[in-house]
Amino acid sequence: MDKASIVGDAVLYVQDLQMQAKKLKAEIAGLEASLARPQKLHQGQPEMRSKNIHQAPRSTIPTPRKILQMDMFQVEERGFYVRLVCNKGVGVAVALYKALEALTSFNVQSSNLASSSFSDRFILTLTLNIKEGEPDMNLQNLRLWITGSLLNRGFELIQTA
């Protein structure tokens, strides 16, 4: 395979990942919106009123947001790969993406939010580049930027690697 076809395949793969991330964000936002609005017990339907429908009370206690692991690697001169592991919970995924959006000195090239099936954890992986006109940055400075953004969104750092 020549370099052009490899790069072309990589671009298609990254675009596919970006579409998947957008779909996940939209799905998460929809689910959170449905949890936020009050549920009505089909007041206009008599057959539904006659049935004894019970809903579990929703917890008003916010889910603690904990970053369990943070790994960063420099992959290009101005490009980085970041992997965050955090707990699952209501609003955690949205807060992760809001923290990413707050990183105004960077262009997020791709991101993927995975849900671990064997534990209650989210794994967020992303690649980002420093925007044009911004000064170069090392891993320590990047860690400070990301940590600050996460702390501003209510996350607590438990362990960072």
Per-residue model confidence (pLDDT) at position 23: 77
* C-alpha–C-alpha distance, residues 49 and 125, integer Å: 47
Question: Cα 64 from chain centroid?
Answer: 15
Asked if residue 146 lies in contact with residue 82, where contact means CB atoms within 8 angstroms, the answer is yes
104: phi then psi, degrees, rounded to nearest 5? -75, -15
Strand order in the sheet with 79-87: 106-115, 121-130, 79-87, 65-74, 155-157
Burial group, residue 51, by CB count within 10 angstroms (0-12, 13-18, 19+): exposed
Per-residue model confidence (pLDDT) at position 118: 77
In the chain (161 residues long), the average pLDDT of successive 10-residue segments reads 74 81 78 64 46 52 86 93 92 92 92 85 93 91 93 85 50
